[in-house]
Amino acid sequence: MVTKEQAEQIKDYVKQLESHSKIELVPILSARSGNYHEASYKIIILSLVAFILTSTYFILFPSWDGEINHSAIMMSLAIIFFIGTMINFIAPLKKIFISSAAIEEACSTHLNENFIQHEVFNTIDRTGILLQISYYEHDIRLLADSGINKVVDNEIWNELIKDISKSYKEHRNPVKGFKTVIEKLEQISKKHGLDKDHTDTNELDDKLIIKE
CATH of the domain at 151: 3.10.310.50
Average pLDDT over residues 137-144: 94
Does 114 share its domain with 129?
yes
Same domain, residue pair 174 and 203: yes
From CA 137, how far away is CA 34, in angstroms rounded?
9
pLDDT tens, residue by residue, 69-81: 778 788 888 888 8
C-alpha to C-alpha distance for 58 and 64, rounded to whole angstroms:
12
Q: List the alpha helices (DSSP H) in the chain.
A: 4-18, 37-60, 70-89, 91-94, 100-117, 146-149, 154-171, 174-191
Statement to judge: residues 183 and 112 lie in one domain = yes
User: What pLDDT, on a 0 to 100 scale, did the predictor assign at position 79?
Assistant: 87
Please tell me the predicted confidence (pLDDT) of residue 10: 93
Q: Are 137 and 55 found together in one domain?
A: no
Domain region containing 124: 4-34+100-211
Q: Is the pLDDT of residue 1 over 80?
A: no
pTM of the shown model = 0.83
pLDDT of residue 165: 85
- pLDDT tops 70 at residue 94: yes
My answer on whether 9 and 28 are in the same domain is: yes
Report the domain count for the chain.
Answer: 2
Claim to verify: residue 114 and residue 201 sit in the same structural domain: yes
Task: Give the dihedral sign, CA 59/61/65/71.
Answer: negative
DSSP bridge partners of 21: 195
Question: Is residue 66 pLDDT above 80, yes or no?
Answer: no
Nearest to 47 by CA among 71, 90, 78, 72: 78
Asked whether the beta carbons of 149 and 143 are under 8 A apart, the reply is: no
- 111 and 81 together in one domain: no
Residues 108, 121 contacting (CB under 8 angstroms): no
Angle 113-31-149 (CA atoms, 0-180°, nearest 5)?
40
Residues 44 and 93 in one domain: yes
Please indicate, yes or no, whether residues 111 and 193 belong to a single structural domain of this protein: yes
- Rounded to 10 degrees, what is the CA torsion of 18, 21, 24, 28? -60
| pLDDT tens-digit series, residues 163-209 | 888 877 776 777 888 888 899 999 999 999 999 888 889 999 999 99
pLDDT digits (tens, 9 = 90+) for 10-62: 999 999 999 999 999 999 999 999 989 888 888 889 888 988 888 888 888 87
Same domain, residue pair 28 and 10: yes
Co-location of 58 and 146 in the same domain = no
